[in-house]
Copies of this chain bind each other. A is one copy, B any other.
């Protein structure tokens, strides 16, 4: 491995480096195998002996992997991968359930949400520009490979939701004053908006929401934690959307 390669990998730990190069780093044997059999293009793989073969593979030592890895626990293989460009098909919003994240900032939460979107067959996630970056190494790791199947789009969220609303797409969002999720009719298609970890859905985005939902605590009047984690809330609502279609 060259000094330039080490510097490149370091730079891909930051969003700026990823934007400038159009590359991201994927770590872990299983994930890299999955990428290899996907449509994504791998530029180079660095791996310990015995894991991968091919013209794009360079065998490195455990010590070298420790230097390269962007994760807390260094993996046995690391790949430099081209960031895919997904076309956003706004016309599909009236056919499927789509997630929209309004400034979800924690990489672990974003990764978990991508993973559960995959579980529930949700193929598109819209993110406001100030959301965490889905090619952050922590997010890539937390998705457990789901990043290869779920398309994440960074968009002007208020403008896009406004457009969707004009086209009569139902837009769901959670609010403290929302209606009990289990008593609200849910369509099999539409957009489900989830908000920032601390502030929830922003005023601007909230204006576009056509169906305000609340996950009821239990029992309804008991003193509980004030809120569920955003990834947990997303999972519970998606499960209910899917149950209704079961």
How many residues of A sit at the interface, in one of the four size bands?
A: 35 or more
A236 CB contact (under 8 Å) in B118, B146, B182, B235? B235
Distance A144 CA – B146 CA, assembled complex (angstroms): 28
Distance A78 CA – B240 CA, assembled complex (angstroms): 40
Q: Is the CB of B182 within 8 A of A223?
A: no
Q: For residues 129 through 152 of chain A, which have their beta carbon under 8 Å from a beta carbon of chain B? A: 143-146, 149
- Cβ of A239 under 8 Å from chain B: yes
A211-229 CB mask vs B (1 if < 8 Å, else 0) is: 0000111110011111011
A224 CB contact (under 8 Å) in B118, B180, B218, B228? B118
- Cβ of A245 under 8 Å from chain B: yes
List the B side residues contacting A228 at CB < 8 Å: 115-116, 119, 235
- Which residues on A are within 8 Å of B, measured CB to CB? 108, 112, 115-116, 118-121, 143-146, 149, 180, 182-183, 215-219, 222-226, 228-229, 231-232, 235-236, 239-240, 242-243, 245-246
